[in-house]
Amino acid sequence: MASPLSLMMPVLPGTTLSSLLSTLTAAQPSIDKALATIGTVHYARFLLLDRSSPNLLPNLADENSPSETLIISVITNYDGDFDKYIFDFVAQLGGVFDALLAHVIGGDQLIPVANNVQAFLAFILANDASQQLPNKGSGYEAYPQTVQQILAAFT
């Protein structure tokens, strides 16, 4: 059974949408390569949200205006125990995590994540909507196989 991650990270007040987009765009090639190497993540996406917007979606017309209300969200489904693989994720994506956390409230305490692994794990647990009530335990999966089993069946 794959597990969901729905990480919600409030962004530091005064950050612009464009600076977040810029960080994510720069990180995307590393992220894709790292996730393929890690091999336990079925799907992963980032969502940039704005809790002041009526439908929570940010307004691109304001991308260069400092905002008080942005959120970076990371949505994945992954195999195995995330906490057991945390050191491997940090080894592969530590730099990306540090770049993102630089924009996040409370993030500066965790940088560099390679030296703050336990605190980083605690931060993820606290901010993962899927590990906290009322959302904990909810979710559908179409198949129980792991990423590697799927890849092997279709290679």
b/e sequence 121-148, b meaning 16+ C-beta within 10 Å:
bebbeebbbbbeeeeeeeeeeeeeebbe
Is position 109 an interface residue for other proteins (rule: CB under 8 A)?
no
* Residues in contact with other proteins, shown as a per-residue x/- string from 17 to 56 under the rule CB under 8 A: --------------------xxxx----------------
How many residues sit close enough to other proteins to count as binding (CB under 8 A)?
29
Q: How far is the CB of 100 from other proteins (least distance, A)?
A: 16
Cβ atoms of 30 and 93 closer than 8 Å: yes
CA distances from 155 to 1, 2, 58, 103, 111 (A): 22, 21, 40, 40, 39
User: Looking at beta carbons only, is 106 or 112 nearer to other proteins?
Assistant: 112
Q: How far is the CB of 142 from other proteins (least distance, A)?
A: 18
| DSSP β-bridge partners for residue 67 | 15
Cβ atoms of 85 and 111 closer than 8 Å: no
User: Looking at beta carbons only, is 56 or 91 nearer to other proteins?
Assistant: 91
Is position 88 an interface residue for other proteins (rule: CB under 8 A)?
yes
Is position 118 an interface residue for other proteins (rule: CB under 8 A)?
yes
What residue has token string 């198949």?
143
Q: How far is the CB of 86 from other proteins (least distance, A)?
A: 8
Taking only Cα atoms into account, the Rg of the chain, rounded to an integer number of angstroms, comes to: 16
Positions in the binding site for other proteins (CB under 8 A) = 37-40, 79-80, 84-85, 87-92, 94, 112-115, 117-118, 146-149, 151-153, 155
